Structure 1
């Protein structure tokens, strides 16, 4: 389980960085003069940095292994966090968040890669569920704790602390993670070849729009707009906003923890996905 807890520390950071803007967005807007369009561009920068790297990360995991891929990409997150903490303009914040997105891009996929290679298949779903559920503690940290830290040392100081933590976690992963045994193939596959293989899996096609739409709601609300909404409409302080976001993050963590074991109850993930999507739509 050493590999699990090592990746867990990185995934907690990844969850923090994809949701921390919701707490400090009003302060960013006031201090740097950012309008709603500029704030939206910040979240977009993180998402683009994260998404664009997924295919290169998949190739790098096969070519170099997680021991090199994950810590090296996390260096970008460290640089991005340092840049964010010292930013004086919206454009600099965009660059910083794009770097953070790049730095977080290999953490989850690296964990899945290792879990699939070194643990029994029957434990794969459970481990991924635990990783997402416990790793959602990053969302919790990016709620009330971040709000409290911001009220004491400011948002710049809080992000500087997270930059240091990210550097330490990257070092931890570099020292602890070992590459699993490689699966030999008839020939080496390049990035384009790997992409073609993925797109040829027809079972993924109906899942792509579902994942895209459902995650868009979460990343938009929890990742950014919930904070400004609570500030502008209800006049809540950062600490009060953080408490409400903490409730949402807690619900996300609980859901992630219980979804994995439920596949044995329902005999698969189809109805779990249907019920979960329906609950999100109702909310």
Structure 2
């Protein structure tokens, strides 16, 4: 049958293929924020200072960030199916290594392996969305994808705390690794890179067989020539990076230090932030597709996000009910970061799309990669100045909130300098 007479893939099939990739993304989000709930266990097991704990947590982000550009180039070159399968297998091995690490060095290697392997999930998933769903759904499905992934962070809140108390943190990490390996097998069996590989019509035209494939470094160089890539790269580093830094490591200590909450009570509020972040991604993705704009919805979200950090940095002694609401609003606004990927994909030629998405996803990781250890160093400094042992400085926590606000502010400047795409590709 001629390709022009083929029917589009059934929506059910599209969702199953997307869902398998989304499940791996959920696994990655779960692994990303586990140190925030396991601060006590990790500090005790490996005898860590605050700065050392921040560095251990950041190992995930070091390797995740390092993989983003190679992943984008490889997905453009060989497709998401093979990349996702390999990522699941290596991610499972890394989780097992981290869970049963006898020393800090082994734990760091395991966490780095997890970070480097799950780095493939987001870019690969978005490329599957681009192939298996109508282009008009891209931002909305990006929002749904981020929301699903964020549920992994929700699982790393109260549920992880309960399971760790029941079975021990090592067993929970080991079990998560086995799940990732099983998921890799399912992806290899069922997922295909495009509908035509299952006998259906592609939503996006296949690249011509005679089209010259650029060498990897040449493709990267071509992508980096677009100013929009640099500007959009920086936006989520603050808007999302600040949320990941707070929820992933320092949010629970902040709430227990300033407001005297138990770890479980603080974890509930952090879980609420993650749910709000997921809701924000759904809301801003749908709003952007409806308005056919990227900048305005993104700006609204960024302003909501920075407002919470500023208020809590200036007025930290607010009632816990108001603090909770402010944190949830901050996280809801942070969900607007999902617009980054459609925005940059529309700002470069189609054949550079995955590479551009990978570069921007690197920007997402730059935030926590830098902020987590920096905030740890700030807290160590204030603890030393105030001669505090085994606790956190309130003044140090306040400074950390203002540092996060400044970072989000720099993202807003970058957003204002970028060029609106009106939800349409600027290039053929």
Sort the TM-score into its range (normalised by shorter chain). Answer: over 0.9
Is the 8 Å Cα contact of residues 256 and 266 (structure 2) preserved in structure 1? Answer: yes
Find the counterpart in structure 1 of residue 134 from structure 2. Answer: 120
Instruction: Using the TM superposition, give the Cα deviation of residue 252 of structure 1 relative to its aligned residue in structure 2, in angstroms.
Output: 0.7
Task: Give the one of 78, 83, 100 matched to 1:86.
Answer: 100
Find the counterpart in structure 2 of residue 103 from structure 1. Answer: 117
TM-score (norm 1): 0.93
Is the 8 Å Cα contact of residues 55 and 191 (structure 1) preserved in structure 2? Answer: no
Note the alpha carbon deviations across 1:101-142, whole angstroms, 9 max, x for none. Answer: 111011111111112123221111111111111221111101
Distance of 1:252 and 1:171 partners within structure 2: 30
Instruction: Using the TM superposition, give the Cα deviation of residue 26 of structure 1 relative to its aligned residue in structure 2, in angstroms.
Output: 1.9
Instruction: Using the TM superposition, give the Cα deviation of residue 265 of structure 1 relative to its aligned residue in structure 2, in angstroms.
Output: 4.5
Structure with higher RCO (Cα < 8 A, 6+ apart): 1
Structure showing greater radius of gyration is 2
Find the counterpart in structure 1 of residue 222 from structure 2. Answer: 197
Find the counterpart in structure 1 of residue 313 from structure 2. Answer: none
Confirm whether residue 228 of structure 1 aligns to residue 253 of structure 2: yes
Task: Give the one of 39, 43, 47 matched to 2:57.
Answer: 43
Find the counterpart in structure 1 of residue 207 from structure 2. Answer: 183
Find the counterpart in structure 1 of residue 233 from structure 2. Answer: 208
Q: Where in structure 2 are the equivalents of 1:1-283 lying within 5 Å? A: 1-180=15-194, 182-184=206-208, 186-232=211-257, 236-283=261-308
Instruction: Using the TM superposition, give the Cα deviation of residue 216 of structure 1 relative to its aligned residue in structure 2, in angstroms.
Output: 2.4
Structure 2 residue runs of 5 or longer lacking an equivalent are 1-14, 197-205, 309-428
Task: Give secondary structure in 1 for the equivalent of 2:247.
Answer: helix
Task: Give secondary structure in 2 for the equivalent of 1:133.
Answer: helix
Distance of 1:31 and 1:25 partners within structure 2: 10
TM-score (norm 2): 0.63
| Displaced runs of 4 or more, over 6 A | none
Task: Give secondary structure in 1 for the equivalent of 2:293.
Answer: coil
Is the 8 Å Cα contact of residues 143 and 285 (structure 2) preserved in structure 1? Answer: yes
Change (3 A) 1:55 1:45: same
Structure 1 residue runs of 5 or longer lacking an equivalent are none
